[in-house]
Amino acid sequence: MNRPDETEPGVTVTIQEIHRIAALARVRLDQGEAKRMAREMSSILEHMAVLSGVAPEPAPTSGVPQGEGSTRPFGEASDRSGPPAGEGATTPDPLERPLARIAPDWRDGLFIVPRLPGVAGAPGERKSSS
């Protein structure tokens, strides 16, 4: 995952890269700090390499729960025989329907947007006399 221009054995993030990132992050590092950061970040990123083994699937953008909890409230009567939940089973996306069905108006694959009031051609707009 890293560039090969190493500066020390086992250090895969170079000091030049550290300075480049620090400039992007608006943090100033002296040479000693940069060297230490390069060593530490190389070590940390080495552990991150395991992420290359993750099978790609759609990712959430936050931890916000998407729907009603999938379990019954403990202590209340419930039916445990709900839908089977095999490996990789996902909840249907409620927005997964043809766009044309949720569009207010739709023509040739495009949304038709009402004109804003005051713009020529808007509903009820009086033609200006010149």
Binding site for another protein (CB under 8 A): 1, 13, 17-18, 21-22, 24-29, 33, 37, 40-41, 43-45, 47-48, 50-65, 68-71, 73-75, 80, 82-83, 85, 87-91
**CB 47, min distance to another protein, A:** 6
Tokens describing residue 25:
């992050």
For another protein, the closer CB: 90 or 129: 90
- 63 within 8 A of 43, measured Cβ to Cβ: no
For another protein, the closer CB: 30 or 108: 30
Question: Looking up tokens 């099978």, which residue turns up?
Answer: 55
For another protein, the closer CB: 83 or 109: 83
What's CA 74's distance to the chain center, in Å? 33
For another protein, the closer CB: 87 or 96: 87
As a whole number of angstroms, the distance between CA 9 and CA 35 comes to: 13
**CB 79, min distance to another protein, A:** 11
CA distances (Å), origin 27, targets 30, 43, 49: 10, 21, 26
**CB 97, min distance to another protein, A:** 22
Helices (H) and strands (E) in the chain, counts: 3, 2
**CB 119, min distance to another protein, A:** 31
SS3 11: strand
